[in-house]
Structures are given as C-alpha cells and as structure tokens.
Homo-oligomer: A and B are copies of this chain.
C-alpha cells in the first residue's frame, strides 16, 4: 500500500511531499522528477506565473545513488519567489507594520469559484489568505513530483502512461479518433494543447485566443491512458477495494475537477446493453476483448486491457472580466477579485493536462 501526503502553501518557502510504501530498487533521480515539473508548465494560454516561477527540486529522503531504498521518498519543491513573500507568509510572528504592503493586505473579498469563502467560514478566518494559500492549484506541483516517482515504479512493472486533451471548452476531439500511446508523449508535449488530433488542436488554439480576447477563461477534459496494466488489480470484495472507486477519488481530489469517467463513462449510460460491453472472444488460444468500452475495469478490477480515465475540469475561476463578490470587511460589492498581483494578470486557461502524463 502506498500512502502520500503533501504540505506547503502557494507562496510559502516550499512544497513538501512524502510517499510511503515504495519498494526498494525503483529508479528515481532529480532529472526524472524535474522533467515532469517542466511538463506541468507547458500549455498554450498559461498564466504568467508559470513562466517565472522556478521549481527548485530537492530529493530529501528515500533515494540513494539513483534508486529508491524502501524508505519513504521525500521531495521538496522550493519557491524561487519566496524572498518576496517571506514577511507575508512568515511562519514566525512578524511586526504588523511590515505587512503594510500590497502583498500583505488582508484579502477580504472572497473569490467566487474558489475555496475562499467556505474556508473562512470553516476556520473562522477574517480574510482568505490562509485558505487560498493551501487550496491553490500550486499544490499539484507536489503531486506531479510524487507522480513522477510513481510513474517510474509503474514503468518497472511494465505499465506506461500517457495523457491527452480531449476538450477545451466546447471544442472536442471527435469520437472515435485515434488514441495516443506512450510513444507519443513527446509529440503531445510539442502540441500547444497536448491534443493528439491536429485539426482539433488548431480549433482549441482559436478557442483559447477567443476566450483571451473576451477576457474569459476555459476548462476542458483530459484523458489518462495506462498501457500494460495486468488483470486483477483492485477487487470487488469490498466497496473501497475497487480500482475504479479509488481512481475516482484520486482524480476528483485534484483542484477544479468536477467529473470523472472510467472508459466511456456517461456515454455508456446512454447505450443499450448489447452495445455497451466488451465481448469475450478467443484469439490464438487467449480469451480477450475486441473493444474497450469499459475502460479497462470490470467488477472494480483491471481487466488487462487499456485503462482509460477521464476528468472534467472547470474553467479557472479568476476571470478577468470579473465575477461579483462581497467585501467581508467593508460590505463593498466589488466586481474585482482578491487575487494576488502575480496571478491576477493570468488571462488564459489554467488548464493543465500534464498533471498526470
């Protein structure tokens, strides 16, 4: 059983992540993790923050001479912008006078579509800073780092991953389009939106440009494919042993995800039974399936065919042309958000399919 925890705030000194339960002998290097952190920043229409933030990577534990030791893997991702934030986010008490800056001001205008207001209610905060610092999608950098380690582990077992963008806003890859394989990762990374269908990719770029021009943002759909998964992972014996259930939890736990599908998902719900399942046939003496409508799970177990899981992400909530909110301190009703200066200039979709691949 693998367990993992992350810690750290968006503008804090660093993110910290621990992965526990990894066997010994898995190849892990800073280069391997850094590569995925770089890929996390790809994507047409990214906010400016992605560009100047550098991820300073430290392998703090669990790895020696390029392989895991069986002890917990600890990774830190330093924040190169920390010097600008060291008063605002200081763990130690600070003199209130040093907070008399734009960065230090109390964030009293909770942003719609963010955790701000509920977090303040939950913890009794009178401003949103402590909430947005942790609820931020910056935390996914820690997940990507651990995910790179997990991906290396899967690789040792012959399991290879690839993800690709299926939709940006209303622009979708046509049903039945070819699926990428792990050998296509480099090509996907070279596509502006990591879309495997060139014609759709061009339409997606146009959609991003249009959203940009109208001061708006976009969401989308991503699909993760796992090749080489053996049959029998997960189980039907108890509700929380099911592989599909655990994948659904993991994926819905990513910031901004609002929907999860395994295989054909909701489309399967529209089909008739005779068209919805994967028939069993014998080919060269092996019982196999000719289709993968189920997405590689039956009865909560991997079937040995291609595992396919999709996530639907809402558009970034920090919309330039502004949503209504209320200032909890003054009662003002501004059409502006409380975003910190760096990300407030972000005008394009904060959509990051590369979180998994």
Contacts and interface: CB of A to CB of B under 8 A. Distances in A.
A157 interface: no
A219 B268 contact: yes
A260 B252 contact: yes
A113 interface: yes
A289 B112 CA distance: 9
Contact of A259 (B7, B115, B116, B259): B259
Q: How many copies does the complex hold?
A: 4
A190 interface: no
A134 to B, nearest CB: 4
A239 B260 contact: no
Given A8-B60, A301-B122, A317-B277, A266 B266 contact: yes
Interface residues of A, number: 148
A1 B3 contact: no
Nearest to A238: B20
Given A65-B93, A236-B134, A216 B274 contact: yes
Contacts of A93: 29, 65-66
Contact of A118 (B72, B266, B303): B303
A274 B118 CA distance: 20
B274 A321 contact: yes
A304 B6 CA distance: 27
23 contacts: A5-B238, A7-B20, A8-B60, A8-B72, A15-B61, A21-B237, A24-B125, A60-B76, A63-B91, A66-B92, A71-B237, A112-B278, A113-B294, A114-B298, A119-B299, A242-B252, A268-B312, A269-B312, A273-B317, A274-B321, A280-B323, A281-B324, A281-B333
Given A122-B301, A255-B299, A258-B266, 14 more contacts: A3-B5, A29-B91, A59-B91, A64-B133, A69-B123, A117-B287, A117-B298, A219-B268, A219-B269, A244-B257, A258-B261, A273-B317, A280-B326, A294-B314
